[in-house]
Each structure stands twice: as structure tokens, then as C-alpha cells.
Amino acid sequence: MMKTETVAGITYSKPIVTVLQDSPLLVGELAGRIAYDSFDKSEHEVIRNFTPNRVSGLNADNSELLNSLAWVHHHYSVLEHLSLSYLIEGTTRGVLAELSRHRIASYTVRSTRYTMSDIIYLFAAEYQGSYTEGFFVNEVITLNVFNLSGEFERLEARQLWDKLFTQLLEVGKEEFFTAILSKDNL
């Protein structure tokens, strides 16, 4: 279950972060030892006895070389050999935009353009008179796409209804549904 936090009267969902994969710490040390040709100075036997054909066993909790290079000498390029893959659920595209500005990672994000079919189907049913606007808003809220709660989430759902309806009026019903629903097959 998502944790929430209330700030200035707005309740937000906190993201859920799961580490999917990480590279062993000593991959970074290995890069540093290659740069300085100092394998024999490592506190780790697997590094002291490193051969290019033997790369297993590079797990460790600490590396004196990486601590020194990163925090004393500010030689960060060896840290670029380390990688972490996360699954971050329940955050906004705004957070993603802020992270990507710093160029610290590669990002893959759920495409709202190609994953909005549930909302489009709700809108289609709503537009054809099967439901009420309130039904649409309540159903969109159950999809948990806004990471908000309460009246702010309702406001976002209503704005989504307004945007879809405006677009439908602009291009016409047939073109609107053909364009939107054709992406559903990707």
C-alpha cells in the first residue's frame, strides 16, 4: 500500500522504490585499479588476483580506493562503472523531468500517451451516455494516475475530462477515437 504525506493541506502519495539490479561495488574499484595500475594495493583478494577472464566475486561492502577517489580526490569517473536499476512507482513526470536534467541516469517511463486506453474507454462510454461525469471521475481516480488524493485528485480527473472533451470537439468524434485508440495495439 502506498504511503501518503500531507503538506500544506495537499495529500501526496509517496513513491515506492525497488532496486531491481545493482552492479558489484568492486566493478568501480576495478576501473580505478586499471587507471592507476595498482591491483596489488587493493584490500580485496579478488582485485589483487584479478585476471580479465575472471570477473566473479566482485561483491564487497566497502572499497578504500573508491572512498578515496570519490571523496578525497573527486575522481568520479570510476563510479560511472557502477549501475543501479530501480523501479519507481507512484511518482510524477515532473519528478522524472527534474532527475533527467541532472543526467545522472538513463530513464524509461510509462508512456501516458500509450497507456491511457483505460481512461479513453471510460471517456468513450461516458461520451456515449452510458455513465455520468461523476462515474468517469471516480473511475479515473481508481486508476491512481495522479499521485494525489481527495479534492485535488478529483480536480485533475475533471480537468482530464475537459481536455478530452475539448479535443473531441476540435477534431470530431471519429478522428478522435481512431487516433487515440489506434495506439492501444502497440
Residue 186 pLDDT more than 50? no
* 22 vs 123, residue with greater confidence: 22
Average pLDDT over residues 141-146: 77
Q: For all residues of the chain together, what is the average pLDDT?
A: 78
Domains of the chain, CATH where assigned: 15-109 (3.30.1360.170), 117-185 (no CATH)
User: How large a percentage of the chain has pLDDT more than 70?
Assistant: 79
Alpha-carbon dihedral angle through residues 99, 104, 105, 107, given to the nearest 10 degrees: 20
Is the whole model's pTM more than 0.75, yes or no? no
One-letter amino acid of 134: G
- Please tell me which residue, 72 or 122, carries the higher pLDDT value: 72
The string of DSSP codes covering 36-101 is HT-GGG-S-HHHHT-BTTB------S--HHHHIIIIIS--GGGGGG--EEEEEES--HHHHHHHHH
Q: What pLDDT, on the 0 to 100 scale, is given for residue 43? A: 93
Q: Give SS3 for 35.
A: helix
The grid coordinates of residue 66 equal 573508491
Locus of grid cell 482530464:
160
What H or E segment, with its residue span, contains residue 166? helix 151-171
User: Using one digit for the tens of pLDDT, what is the confidence trace for 23-82?
Assistant: 888 888 888 888 878 888 999 998 998 887 776 778 888 889 888 888 887 777 788 888
94 to 97, 99, 118, 134: CA distances (angstroms): 5, 9, 22, 27
